[in-house]
Amino acid sequence: MKFAHSPLLSQLVPGWRGRFVLLLLLAGFAALIARSAFLQTINHDYLQQEGESRYSRVVELSATRGRIVDRHGEILAISTPVKSVFAMLRGVSLTPAQTRELARVLGMDVRELTQKLSAERGFVFVKRQIPPDVADRVAAMNLPGIHQQAEYRRYYPVGDVASHVVGFTGTEDIGQEGMELAFDRQLAGKPGSRRVIQDRLGRIVEDVESIRAPVDGRDVVLSIDNRLQYLAHAALKQAIAEHRAKAGGVVVLDVQTGEILALANLPGYNPNSRVKLAGAQLRNRAFTDTFEPGSTLKPFTIAMALDKGRFRSETVVDTRPGRLTIGNATISDAHPHGLLTVAQVIQKSSNVGAAKIAATLAAQEMWQTFDAVGFGTAPRLGFPGEVGGRLRPYRTWKPIEQATMSYGHGISVSLIQLARAYLVFARDGDLPQLSLARLDAAPDEGRRVFSERTAREVRAMLEMAVLPGGTAPKAQIPGYRVAGKTGTSHKLEGGVYADRYVSSFVGFAPVSAPRLIVAVMIDEPSAGQHYGGAVAAPVFAQLMAGALRAQGIAPDAPLKPVQVAGLQEVREGD
């Protein structure tokens, strides 16, 4: 039977039913349109966001902090990734066995761990900065509520040897001291981020956009030579223990370039474990502490007099009777010396001689020279806390002050300033800038302070000071000609000179063509000796001998080989 002939069709259907169905359908459509309009317009942003959050992620891209290396590329500071374990306490429910196991893996006390996990707060660091292999073991335990976070930790392989130069960073990887602070902008990396699409399993399947590219920090190459730094630190440590001194500092400079090759201070600290750090340990004394240099300043007075042509090195100065009264103050020598040549004033370190020579100079001339060699002005190496020392304006100088300044009292300098000033004698009278960063080429000639002839003459006098008859025969180094000057000064305490001393020695070698300057300062030696020639000069000799050998600088003084047996082997191997 065909459909058209179905008897059911002949029955009439009431007209309202058709209209009712049509109405229902229209109402359905209207509802759909309204709903889609709502979703597409009013609710659109929210839904779009929700959808994206299902597959789109923003991934943080970490950037590493630059390394600090010495002039030969040896690492002084490096960042390495570590993990920190933290607990979201609401989700933590560990069995006692799991807690014990976690404590064992982390190397923690079980009670300490239990205490941390029972804290009230929602979030607690269980242990910060653990090595990646330990972190992997913790992750493998798959404990509920225990999470990890990637961080960087800064390591200092040489430890306390270079701590004052390198400095350190805080937990947030920001420089806090030393070069870490001075070069923070160069060292710091900028973390980046990018948006990606992930699949069901969390794998990244598509890179949508790079929001910010990460920028790794740049390395900083210091002028420090790790070998000399180690020698300097070791020599200073030994001297401080031997003389039971309160503190000390050593600086090694490259004469040709003005680079700082080594800089050590004691007391120091280990930058890798900075618990119980006191301000005294943190201070980079060579930069931040000033002292009255004492006799180490006499060569400058002499050089001024030579430069003005008023004296020659063989001009005789009468230092009898070893005392000199100016106004109502008296200057005296440790031993009366009688008639001395200008060269002998340096050699014997006569205060009276220096004061008499200074009396022929105008205050302004002296001030200008002290200013020209950098006293009273911070060296501006970018080091935090640099000081300039005290050099009062010449208009306020009284005659007695000018006299005491000629032998280094009534003026204060930092060790780095003193070391730098000696560059004028080690070089031929000019003074270059210092550098804590490695220089690729020797800098241009610095500011000229003395004539070449004056510098050479003072050099010869300084060599006499370490020869027999001088104040520092203990500064001698077999095989090399050295030159230098001792300094011993009383410490000022509350405006009065106390019975405590600062012993210093500044010298350079080899005299025939100076290459290195070593400045030593020992604060409050208290084992009996306090003269610069007895305390600081041996440190100079020990360090300079090691440094000359490490630098491969040829001896310039005749020295008979003790063992000639090795000669044949050398020839054969050549």
Partner 1 sequence: MARINALLLLIVLACAVGVVAAQHNWRKLYMELEREQERMRQLEVEWGQLQLEASTWSARGRIEKVARERLGMKPPEPGQILVVEPGARN
CB of 216 to partner 1, least distance (A): 10
Q: Which stretch binds partner 1 (CB under 8 A): 76-84, 104-112, 369-377, 453-461?
A: 76-84
Q: Taking CB under 8 A as the rule, does residue 207 contact partner 1?
A: yes
Q: How far is CA 395 from the centre of its chain?
A: 38
Specify whether the CB–CB gap between 372 and 365 falls below 8 A.
no
Distance, CA of 212 to CA of 522 (rounded, Å): 52
Residue 145 half-sphere exposure toward CB, CA atoms < 13 A:
18
CB of 262 to partner 1, least distance (A): 12
Q: Taking CB under 8 A as the rule, does residue 140 contact partner 1?
A: no
Q: Which stretch binds partner 1 (CB under 8 A): 22-30, 205-213, 254-262, 403-411?
A: 205-213
Give whichever of 134 and 378 is closer to partner 1, judged by the CB atom. 134
Distance, CA of 370 to CA of 361 (rounded, Å): 13
For residue 157, whether the previous peptide bond is cis, meaning omega lies within 30 degrees of 0, is no
Give whichever of 227 and 459 is closer to partner 1, judged by the CB atom. 227
Distance, CA of 165 to CA of 167 (rounded, Å): 6
CB of 235 to partner 1, least distance (A): 13
Three-class SS state of 348:
helix
Q: Taking CB under 8 A as the rule, does residue 314 contact partner 1?
A: no
Q: Which stretch binds partner 1 (CB under 8 A): 337-345, 346-354, 471-479, 511-519?
A: 471-479
Distance, CA of 359 to CA of 403 (rounded, Å): 7
Q: Taking CB under 8 A as the rule, does residue 276 contact partner 1?
A: no
Per DSSP, 186 falls in state H
Question: Which residue blocks in 89-142 are alpha helix, DSSP H?
Answer: 96-106, 110-117, 132-141
| AA letter at 185 | R
Binds partner 1 by CB under 8 A, chosen from 286, 391, 424, 545: 545
For residue 144, whether the previous peptide bond is cis, meaning omega lies within 30 degrees of 0, is no
Q: Which stretch binds partner 1 (CB under 8 A): 39-47, 71-79, 84-92, 368-376?
A: 71-79
Q: Taking CB under 8 A as the rule, does residue 474 contact partner 1?
A: no
Specify whether the CB–CB gap between 260 and 435 falls below 8 A.
yes
Q: Which of 84, 223, 295, 350 is catalytic?
A: 295
Radius of gyration of the chain (CA): 38
Q: Which stretch binds partner 1 (CB under 8 A): 33-41, 104-112, 171-179, 204-212?
A: 204-212
CB of 468 to partner 1, least distance (A): 18
CB of 229 to partner 1, least distance (A): 8
Distance, CA of 570 to CA of 399 (rounded, Å): 62
Specify whether the CB–CB gap between 78 and 157 falls below 8 A.
yes
Cβ neighbours around 443 below 10 Å, total: 13
CB of 178 to partner 1, least distance (A): 18
Binds partner 1 by CB under 8 A, chosen from 51, 132, 144, 469: 132
Q: What is the footprint of partner 1 within residues 145-164 (CB under 8 A)?
A: 155, 157-159, 161
Binds partner 1 by CB under 8 A, chosen from 206, 318, 445, 452: 206
CB of 478 to partner 1, least distance (A): 4
Binds partner 1 by CB under 8 A, chosen from 56, 63, 81, 101: 81
Q: Which stretch binds partner 1 (CB under 8 A): 322-330, 331-339, 492-500, 547-555?
A: 547-555
Binds partner 1 by CB under 8 A, chosen from 205, 241, 316, 339: 205
Sign of CA dihedral 472, 473, 476, 480: positive
Write each residue from 162 to 201 as x if it is in contact with partner 1 (CB under 8 A), else as -, in one continuous string: -------------------------------------x--
Q: What is the footprint of partner 1 within residues 233-272 (CB under 8 A)?
A: 234
Q: Taking CB under 8 A as the rule, does residue 227 contact partner 1?
A: yes
Specify whether the CB–CB gap between 245 and 91 falls below 8 A.
no
Q: Taking CB under 8 A as the rule, does residue 78 contact partner 1?
A: yes
Give whichever of 109 and 207 is closer to partner 1, judged by the CB atom. 207
Specify whether the CB–CB gap between 252 and 518 falls below 8 A.
yes
CB of 494 to partner 1, least distance (A): 40
Give whichever of 69 and 462 is closer to partner 1, judged by the CB atom. 69
From residue 288, alpha-carbon distances to 182, 401, 415, 434 in Å are 14, 24, 9, 16
Give whichever of 81 and 322 is closer to partner 1, judged by the CB atom. 81
Distance, CA of 26 to CA of 18 (rounded, Å): 12
CB of 109 to partner 1, least distance (A): 27
CB of 140 to partner 1, least distance (A): 17
Distance, CA of 126 to CA of 147 (rounded, Å): 10
**Among candidates 451, 504, 464, which has minimal Cα distance to 340?**
464
How much of the chain is helix, strand and coil, in % rounded to 5? 40, 25, 35
Q: Taking CB under 8 A as the rule, does residue 60 contact partner 1?
A: no
Catalytic residue list contains 295 = yes
Distance, CA of 71 to CA of 506 (rounded, Å): 24
Q: Specify which residues 329 forms β-bridges with.
A: 326
| E-assigned strand segments in 172-246 | 192-198, 204-212, 220-221
Q: Give the residue numbers annotated as catalytic, written as ranges.
A: 295
Residues that bind partner 1 (CB under 8 A): 64, 74-75, 78-81, 132, 155, 157-159, 161, 199, 203-207, 226-227, 230, 234, 477-479, 545-546, 549, 554-555, 559-563, 566-567, 570-571, 574
